[in-house]
Amino acid sequence: MTVSDGKNTGRGEGVPIARYNQTIDSVIAEIQSVKSVRDLDRDKLQHLLPPGAARNALDCALWDLEAKRSGKRAWELANIPVVPEVETSFTISLDAPDKVAAAAKAAANSPLLKLKLGGDDLDLARIEAVHEAAPTARLLVDANESWSPKHYRKIVPALKELGVELIEQPFPANADDVLETLDHPVPVCADESCHTTADLSRLRNRYEMVNVKLDKTGGLTETLLLTKRARESGFKLLIGCMACTSLGIAPARLLASAADWIDLDGALLLAHDRDHGLGYENGRIGLPSRQLWG
């Protein structure tokens, strides 16, 4: 989406998340609901729209507009440090062990792989297949709320032995209290259980880290606050994204220097990216150009 002051135009992108009953139509309706607000800015926006794809797109467009007006880059406006390149994971989708092995082999130049798991009897075979196909790659796993406590107890010791660095959202968000009773030989990361700063206090005895995504927080403004508060509360940070173009990833790319892991491969999962897209090379991402965002 775009916002304009008549001279400059800012752009932002949001991805509707079906898990939270968001659709293209519902996101457009949310954006339209604030179209007539006078002197709309990022502070007002936080109170007008709930966290989600609509607020993300509009918030990031307002950041881009401010950058264009000021002649500064977005990270200068946010007063956050950036580095020229950061390492990102590459996602291996849920599939049969031989298929995930083939995908891992094709992505063997990526230093960090994230494997999707399904909570079934093939999970360990999937991890072993990826480890064998890409033995030098570091591994993360994402259970996508699919595990039971029994499955967790059975599989986690093996994950530890295989060098898995984190387990993302093993249990459904509404049943993650079981994490308070289980051992954590591998750190556990909240994804669906963490949207905004308001969630942090509930997560403290359940997770060691949080996955921060702009489409969950509702934009860069809340994300900056969430990352700050999460650090203050002792959480480590994974910066993630939905399947989106470089325009959706660029604002999240700014947070890399504050993160422990980066999972910003969304544009690589698309057949076509936007013009002036982010540069990806050997599992590393450059900074966004002015033509793209910020």
pLDDT greater than 90 at residue 119: yes
| Residue 267 CB-half CA count within 13 A | 24
Pairwise CA distance, residues 132 & 14, whole Å: 36
Section 52-61 average pLDDT: 97
pLDDT tens for 70-88 read 999 999 999 999 989 999 9
Q: pLDDT band at residue 269, thresholds of 50, 70 and 90?
A: confident
Section 85-100 average pLDDT: 94
Percent of the chain with pLDDT over 70: 100
Placement of tokens 């179209």 in the chain: 35
Closest C-alpha among 277, 240, 257, 254 to residue 15: 240
Pairwise CA distance, residues 149 & 164, whole Å: 18
User: What are the DSSP E strand ranges found in 25-152?
Assistant: 86-87, 90-92, 112-116, 138-142
List the Cα angle 189/194/200 in 5-degree steps: 95
Pairwise CA distance, residues 17 & 76, whole Å: 30
Q: What is the pLDDT of residue 18?
A: 87
Q: What is the pLDDT of residue 108?
A: 79
pTM over 0.85: yes
Placement of tokens 């990216």 in the chain: 273
Pairwise CA distance, residues 265 & 237, whole Å: 16
Q: pLDDT band at residue 109, thresholds of 50, 70 and 90?
A: confident
